[in-house]
Amino acid sequence: MFSRVFLQLVATACLFVGVSSSVWAETAINDELLMAKKPAKKLADYGLFLDEAARQPMTRVISYELNNPLFTDYSLKYRFIYIPRNAGGAPYDETDVLAFPVGSVLGKTFAYPNDFRSPDKDIRFIETRLLIHKQSGWKAYPYVWNDAQTEAKLKVAGKRKSIPVIWKDGTQSSIDYAVPNMNQCKGCHVTSNKKLAPIGPKIRNLNRDHSSGDAVFQNQVSYLRDIGFIQGGPKQPSKMPRVPEPLNVESGSLFKRARSYLDGNCAHCHAPGRPADTSGLYLNYEEKREVHWGVNKHPVAAGRGAGGLRVDIKPGQPEKSILFYRMKSTDPGIMMPELGRSTVHLEGVDLIGKFITELK
């Protein structure tokens, strides 16, 4: 937990510094480069971090977390957001992704500990993905870290990396990690009008405690509002929508947690107007029509992904449900999601298995 705590403290500290008087740190962020037509070759060029290892964020680079994050081969994810001073904030919005202003940067660093039995130690950064809101719209750039952890370089065509890990049970294996290319970023981050856009930062995903280690600061949305990153909306967190944390049993009913999981892991494609709407399977949290979220729905173009099964969700029978079958597979022609996964999310499979078993 150490690095996280540290990261948070630095972020908070920097914030206070920034808010109070000093502007030394914030001038170091290269807004001009962020807005340039061509992306920087190295992550460090943007000046979003104080140090070359990108452990210490600059002023106004704020870390945040989501209620229902996407599973990516058990990688740790450090999310951060930057909005330049005077750029304004995102207006509060109940349902859609927050509309962060031009100049904003959403970042996510994917990392692995050497050993999952002590997940806070020896953390290796693999890649840092940036979504930058330029004048011409959002752009996505993956930066891949070197083994020495001193430099992250732009890789437009993506990259494969073999990452040795020790799992919680002490077994060792290698993850065949795929850094997405810029088009693959768009494969998920695309709107119905074919524009690139963020997926995660919706109020319902952000509505949680903004915590760090043992210390709970305050509600994350309230915090982002206090610093001007979000504007307007109800003051009380209970008045804002929230999706439960899928794997936290105290967070909501099994049904809601499962729908939250499917929302976080599938709905970036499986929702109306999204890349997989060709299938008619819509797994976004709001979808109310049973057949559209999979109940007794026949596949259209699933190919061998159907696994000999007839419907996406067969109530009471996970083993007869295509959705469950595809979550359990690691074969590229079968598995779902298509990208960002080479291992099975056992806890997710378990959750969805229970959910389908309970359905009537």
Partner 1 sequence: MRFLAKKLTSICTLYVIIFANLSSAIAGSDYVILPGDDAQEKIQEALILAEPGDQIELGAGVFKLTDGLSLDVDNVTLIGQGMYKTVLSFKGQKSGSEGLLVTSDQVVLKDFAVEDTKGDAVKIKGVDGIAMIRLRAEWTDGPKPTNGAYGLYPVQSKNVYIDGCVAIGASDAGIYVGQSDKIIVRNSRGEYNVAGLEIENSFNADVFDNVLTHNTGGLLVFDLPNLPQQGGHNVRFFRNKSIDNDTPNFAPEGNIVGIVPRGTGMIVMANENVEIFDNEFSGNDTMNIAVASYVDDFDDETYEPTPKKIHIHNNIFGKSGQKPDTGEFGTIVHETVGTPVPDIVWDGVLPLMDYIFFGQADEDKLAIHDNKHLAGVRPFGNANMIMHVIAPIFHKAKFDILPYQKSYPSLPEVEVIIRGRPAAELMN
Nearest distance, CB of residue 111 and partner 1, angstroms: 20
3-class DSSP string for 301-351:
CCHHHHCCCCECECCCCHHHEHHHHHHHCCCCCCCCCCCCCCCCCHHHHHH
Token couple for 191: 């709107």
Phi, psi of 64 (to 5 degrees): -150, 165
Nearest distance, CB of residue 298 and partner 1, angstroms: 6
Nearer to partner 1, 84 or 280 (CB): 280
Nearer to partner 1, 183 or 231 (CB): 183
* Site residues for partner 1 per CB under 8 A: 156-158, 160, 176, 178, 181-184, 186-187, 190, 194, 272, 275, 277-280, 290-292, 296-310, 322, 331-333, 338-339, 342
Nearer to partner 1, 133 or 297 (CB): 297
Q: For the chain, what is the largest distance between any 2 Cα atoms, rounded to a whole number of angstroms?
A: 65
List, in order, residues 6 or more apart from 350 with CB less than 8 Å away. Answer: none
- Beta strand segments in the chain, E: 61-64, 76-82, 90-91, 105-113, 123-134, 137-145, 152-154, 159-166, 172-179, 209-212, 215-219, 230-231
- How many of the other CB atoms lie within 10 Å of CB of 245? 20
Nearest distance, CB of residue 202 and partner 1, angstroms: 23
> Cα–Cα distance between 66 and 64 in angstroms, integer?
7
């870390």: which residue's tokens? 63
Nearer to partner 1, 55 or 139 (CB): 139
Nearest distance, CB of residue 319 and partner 1, angstroms: 13
> Cα–Cα distance between 192 and 196 in angstroms, integer?
10
Nearest distance, CB of residue 45 and partner 1, angstroms: 19
Nearest distance, CB of residue 53 and partner 1, angstroms: 26
Nearest distance, CB of residue 314 and partner 1, angstroms: 11
> Cα–Cα distance between 327 and 335 in angstroms, integer?
6
Q: Which residues pair with 145 in a beta bridge?
A: 152
Nearer to partner 1, 186 or 242 (CB): 186
> Cα–Cα distance between 80 and 107 in angstroms, integer?
5
Nearest distance, CB of residue 191 and partner 1, angstroms: 11
Nearest distance, CB of residue 195 and partner 1, angstroms: 11
Nearer to partner 1, 146 or 248 (CB): 146
Instruction: Tell me which residue of 155, 158, 165, 174 sits closest to 123, measured CA to CA.
Output: 165
Nearer to partner 1, 13 or 156 (CB): 156
Nearer to partner 1, 208 or 270 (CB): 270
Token couple for 321: 């449900």
> Cα–Cα distance between 304 and 334 in angstroms, integer?
7
> Cα–Cα distance between 336 and 165 in angstroms, integer?
23
Nearer to partner 1, 93 or 338 (CB): 338
